[in-house]
């Protein structure tokens, strides 16, 4: 009589039938819960749109000079946004540790316990630890990822977007400076926050390039920037003979509008956490076959 659990029915760790567990997808990014972060997260896209509308005539008059002059301001605004409103990459463990520290602080302590430190010579006087060092550590923990995200965006994302602009119809032999500056603006809009919150997590970037991330303010603004630039290119070949149809004015205007719309719409309950699906999920396909 055969044993109910024969060796042939047990999968060994090295057997090919046992597939390795896939890394779970990173959840959507939430805006920080502070009142300042919540308020500025809504004000930031409005500020960008207002500045774009204010400098639009100067952009039409001299695109290259205006794009170059506005680039440092855009970088400063994006750095301020990510530091005020978004959690930097790899903060899950830090937040868990902070929560544990808060629980320890809330627990009652005996005055005679070993954890209470008294200043010698003054009984009953608890030593107050200065919070200056911790505040500087907190600022540095946000400032360093912000500048790293700005560096990666400038050195990597800008050339990639410039190549994509050329592949999608931007002039190759002329207007090279305008193409690079337009790509730099689009990179700051779309990639700065992505690098800040996700770092170099390959699984997340695979989802980004596959347009498979769950909707949030960061992913929505990046996707909106690309879609807005694509729609903004539509008026360029039309024979309206308007000064604002020159490359890359409409593309950049569409990118800014798309950034603002994507950032705000992706936070609504109807869109937040949803994914773009180009095909039914494998589980749904199996159910259809069985039915």
pLDDT at 123: 46
Distances (CA, A) of 36 to 32, 194, 227, 246: 9, 21, 29, 39
Q: What is the pLDDT of residue 262?
A: 96
Mean pLDDT throughout 98-110?
Answer: 46
pLDDT in tens, 56-86: 999 999 999 999 999 999 999 999 999 999 9
Q: What is the pLDDT of residue 268?
A: 94
Taking the CA atoms of 168, 155, 91 and 143 in sequence, report the sign of the dihedral they define. Answer: negative
Confidence of residue 140 (pLDDT cuts 50, 70, 90): confident
What are the angstrom distances between the C-alpha of 156 and each of 13, 164, 191, 223, 288?
A: 40, 13, 10, 18, 43
| 112 has a pLDDT exceeding 50 | no
The pLDDT tens digits of the residues spanning 164-206 come to 999 999 999 899 999 999 999 999 999 999 999 999 889 999 9
Q: Say if residue 9's pLDDT is above 60.
A: no
DSSP 5: S
Residue 282 pLDDT: 54
Distance CA 198, CA 86 (A): 11
pLDDT band at 90 (very low <50, low <70, confident <90, very high): confident
What separation in angstroms does the CA of 231 have from each of 50, 158, 224, 234? 20, 20, 10, 6
239 pLDDT higher than 60:
yes
**Euclidean distance between CA atoms 11 and 250, whole angstroms:** 60
Query: What's the pLDDT tens digit per position in 198-233?
Result: 998 899 999 999 999 999 999 999 999 999 999 999
| Within-domain flag for 1 | no
Instruction: Tell me how far apart the alpha carbons of residues 71 and 147 are, in angstroms, rounded to a whole number.
Output: 15
Residue 196 domain flag? yes
| Mean pLDDT across 5-32 | 61
Examine residue 291 and state whether it is found in any structural domain, yes or no.
no
Q: What average pLDDT does range 247-255 have in this prediction?
A: 96
Among residues 223, 185, 218, the alpha carbon closest in space to that of 52 is found at 185
pLDDT for res 263: 96
pLDDT digits 0-9 by tens, 265-276: 999 999 999 998
Query: 194 is written with which tokens?
Result: 């992505």
pLDDT band at 280, cuts 50/70/90?
low
Asked whether residue 105 is assigned to any structural domain, the reply reads no
Pair 199, 153: CB distance under 8 Å = no
Is there a domain that residue 172 lies in?
A: yes
pLDDT band at 21, cuts 50/70/90? low
Q: What is the pLDDT of residue 281?
A: 53
Cβ contact 170:250 at 8 Å: no
Q: Bridge-partner residues for 118, per DSSP?
A: 126
Classify residue 123: in a domain, yes or no. no
Closest CA to 214 of 24, 27, 23: 27
Domain limits at 159? 35-91+136-275
Does residue 31 have a pLDDT over 80?
yes
104 located within any domain: no
Query: Looking at the domain assignment, is residue 253 inside a domain?
Result: yes
In which region does residue 272 sit, left (phi positive, over 0), alpha (psi from -120 to 50) or beta (all else)? Answer: beta
Domains contained in the chain, number: 1
The pLDDT score that the predictor gives to residue 185 is 97
pLDDT of residue 22: 54
């Amino acid at each position: 009589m055969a044993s109910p659990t024969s060796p042939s029915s047990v999968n060994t760790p090295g057997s090919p039938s046992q597939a390795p567990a896939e890394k779970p997808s990173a959840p959507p990014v939430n805006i920080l819960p502070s009142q300042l972060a919540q308020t500025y997260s809504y004000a930031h896209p409005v500020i960008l749109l207002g500045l774009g509308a204010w400098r639009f005539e100067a952009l039409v008059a001299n695109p290259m000079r205006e794009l170059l002059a506005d680039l440092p301001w855009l970088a400063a605004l994006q750095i301020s946004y990510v530091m005020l409103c978004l959690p930097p990459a790899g903060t899950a463990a830090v937040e868990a540790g902070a929560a544990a520290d808060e629980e320890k602080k809330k627990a009652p302590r005996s005055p005679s316990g070993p954890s209470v430190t008294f200043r010698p010579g003054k009984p009953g006087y608890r030593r107050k630890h200065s919070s200056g060092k911790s505040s500087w550590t907190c600022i540095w923990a946000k400032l360093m990822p912000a500048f790293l995200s700005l560096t990666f965006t400038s050195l990597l994302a800008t050339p990639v977007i410039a190549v994509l602009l050329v592949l999608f119809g931007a002039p190759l032999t002329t207007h090279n400076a305008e193409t690079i500056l337009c790509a730099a603006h689009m990179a700051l809009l779309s990639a700065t926050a992505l690098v800040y919150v996700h770092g170099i997590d390959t699984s997340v970037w695979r989802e980004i390039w596959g347009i498979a991330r769950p909707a949030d303010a960061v992913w929505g603004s990046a996707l909106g920037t690309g879609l807005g630039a694509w729609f903004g290119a539509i008026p360029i070949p039309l024979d309206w003979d308007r000064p604002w149809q020159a490359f890359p004015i409409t593309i950049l205007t569409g990118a800014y509008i798309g950034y603002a719309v994507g950032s705000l719409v992706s936070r609504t309950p109807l869109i937040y956490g949803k994914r773009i699906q180009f095909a039914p999920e494998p589980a749904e396909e199996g159910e259809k076959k069985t039915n």
